[in-house]
Amino acid sequence: MKKGEKISKSRIEKVVLANFGAQVKFLRSIVAENSINVEGKKGIEASVARIVRRKLTDMGVVAKYLRANKHRPNILSSWGPVRSRKSVTLTGHMDIEEPLWGSRGDWFSPQVKEERMYGAGVLDMKGSLSAYIFALRALMDLKMKPMGQLKLIFSVDGAGEKSSELGLKFLVKKGFRSGGALLAKPGLSKIAIGHRGGYRFCIKTRGETVNTGRKVWEKGEKGRNAIADMGLIMRKLASFDLPYKPAKAFPSRVPVFTFPTKISGGRAVNVVPDVCEAWGDVRLLPGNTDNQVRMWIEDKLSSLDGVDWELSDLFYVPAMEVERHEKIAHFLAASAEMFLPVSPKLEGCGPWNEAWILTCNDTPCIAGFGPEGQEGDESNEEWINLESLKKFTMILVQMIYMYLGDKREREF
């Protein structure tokens, strides 16, 4: 079978359904493990990593631990001919953000009700991790002999907004590359061929403090209001005109500059404030950078006489996009059409994630396409739709098969 050819839908459905009970059991086992990403906590993902590695080993697949921190093991696994230059990667993080809903007893006691599994991290993104493993299981059961490598990454420290040096960045620095990759964030209606970027910053103004009852303040001889100076900065930054180029993945979207989103200053109602801090948030399109925004801010504020201000970076994530004709996007879309009633859109998503780390390092990565469900908030539990998980696993089987091709001559 050549690259781009398909397995019959019925054969994929049969083999995925045969293993789906085991997949649900496996998913329950990793959701039951507490992998909440808490700063300073040791071994956040360790118990999940052990279960994942044991499962892959039991399947006869080599799964290696790669650590930037001895307590935080990434897992890298590959299946297929070692010397092949052709590869496709499925990547996802094992840690989860702290839930806002329910109690700890609810979070790590996964329950299945009416085709839904409830639990912390079940949708983002332990359900997808189970699909990676059981898509591989299905391909092995189909006796596929791939002409390239399927690579699986189960990373640490990927659940938050900030990019960690312990997970995907560490693996890329170690030389990881692939022909294409999928980060299976939730949602089957869109194949996210990009994500917007973000830059967050803080501006601090410094003035001179004095009691408002002092004559020197009354006569203007002493004191400078740092909050009033921040007001001058706010007016200067009110009109955002950062240059940008329209992006194919984000039709009609523009960069968005929001300042301030938070402000702090002053010690007492009768004291002139000597320090004020204000924070800002910028949503970026591909081509925009943190340096570009910094230069724009500095240029706008350069004409402010007498204002003592300082600009500090908080963090930066670049926007990225993948061409629609990339193999990973093309084969994923073709596979999805076989199993979904409505073909997914190919466009960018709003929230950024770790896909940029791979895309900006020669591995085009889809930034989202995965099982359906509900992300938890203060009033709603997190759950995954098991039927969508089943469909997603089938889509992965077909996509991998199309991407890598099969050495066997027999056609299905």
pLDDT in tens, 291-322: 999 999 999 999 999 999 999 999 999 999 99
Q: What is the number of other CB atoms lying within 10 angstroms of the CB of residue 382?
A: 25
Looking at the DSSP bridge assignments, the partners of residue 311 are: 203
Q: Into how many domains does the chain fold?
A: 2
How confident is the model at residue 412, as a pLDDT? Answer: 43
The verdict on 163 and 224 lying in the same domain is: no
The verdict on residue 278 lying in a domain is: yes
CATH of residue 289: 3.30.70.360
How confident is the model at residue 2, as a pLDDT? Answer: 52
pLDDT in tens, 2-57: 556 789 999 999 999 999 999 999 999 999 999 999 988 999 999 999 999 999 99
- Split at pLDDT 50, 70, 90, the class of 1 is very low
- Split at pLDDT 50, 70, 90, the class of 170 is very high
How confident is the model at residue 409, as a pLDDT? Answer: 47
The verdict on 51 and 145 lying in the same domain is: yes
The verdict on residue 231 lying in a domain is: yes
The verdict on 54 and 183 lying in the same domain is: yes
User: Which of 199, 228, 253 has its CA nearest to residue 308?
Assistant: 228
The verdict on 142 and 234 lying in the same domain is: no
Q: Which of 317, 335, 351 is the last residue of a domain?
A: 317
Residue 235 has pLDDT above 80, yes or no: yes
155 near 93, Cβ under 8 Å? Answer: yes
How confident is the model at residue 165, as a pLDDT? Answer: 94
The verdict on 142 and 275 lying in the same domain is: no
The verdict on 287 and 232 lying in the same domain is: yes
Strands (DSSP E) found in 239-307 = 256-265, 275-284
The verdict on residue 248 lying in a domain is: yes
Cβ burial of 17 (10 Å; 0-12, 13-18, 19+) is middle
The verdict on 236 and 298 lying in the same domain is: yes
User: What's this model's pTM, rounded to 2 decimal places?
Assistant: 0.93
Q: Which of 285, 301, 317 is the last residue of a domain?
A: 317
pLDDT in tens, 355-364: 999 999 999 9
Average pLDDT (130-140) is: 98
How confident is the model at residue 304, as a pLDDT? Answer: 95
Q: What are phi and psi of 270, to 5 degrees?
A: -110, 20
The verdict on residue 409 lying in a domain is: no
pLDDT in tens, 321-350: 999 999 999 999 999 999 999 999 999 998
The verdict on 180 and 141 lying in the same domain is: yes
For 118-138, give the DSSP string. Answer: ESTTIIIIIHHHHHHHHHHHH
The verdict on residue 74 lying in a domain is: yes
Taking the C-alpha atoms of residue 76 and residue 324, their distance in angstroms, rounded to an integer, is 27
The verdict on 253 and 361 lying in the same domain is: no
Taking the C-alpha atoms of residue 203 and residue 259, their distance in angstroms, rounded to an integer, is 10
Beta pairing class for 187-195 and 345-349? parallel
The verdict on 354 and 212 lying in the same domain is: no
pLDDT in tens, 245-276: 999 999 999 999 999 999 999 999 999 999 99
The verdict on residue 64 lying in a domain is: yes
DSSP helix/strand/coil, 22: helix
Residue 194 has pLDDT above 50, yes or no: yes
Residue 410 has pLDDT above 50, yes or no: no
Peptide bond connecting 260 to the previous residue in cis, omega within 30 degrees of 0 = yes
How confident is the model at residue 407, as a pLDDT? Answer: 85
The verdict on 236 and 260 lying in the same domain is: yes
How confident is the model at residue 104, as a pLDDT? Answer: 87
Strands (DSSP E) found in 214-332 = 256-265, 275-284, 308-317, 320-321
258 near 293, Cβ under 8 Å? Answer: no
- Split at pLDDT 50, 70, 90, the class of 74 is very high
How confident is the model at residue 115, as a pLDDT? Answer: 95
For residue 218, the enclosing domain spans 197-317
pLDDT in tens, 96-129: 999 999 998 899 999 999 999 999 999 999 999 9
- Split at pLDDT 50, 70, 90, the class of 153 is very high
User: Which of 232, 231, 225 has its CA nearest to residue 208?
Assistant: 225
CATH of residue 129: 3.40.630.10
User: Which of 365, 369, 344 has its CA nearest to residue 356?
Assistant: 365
Long-range contact pairs involving 324-328 (C-beta distance under 8 Å, separation at least 24): 324/193, 324/248, 326/180, 326/193, 326/364, 327/88, 327/179, 327/180, 327/403, 328/88, 328/179, 328/180, 328/181, 328/182, 328/364, 328/365, 328/366, 328/403
Q: Which of 317, 332, 367 is the last residue of a domain?
A: 317
Higher pLDDT, 80 or 242: 80
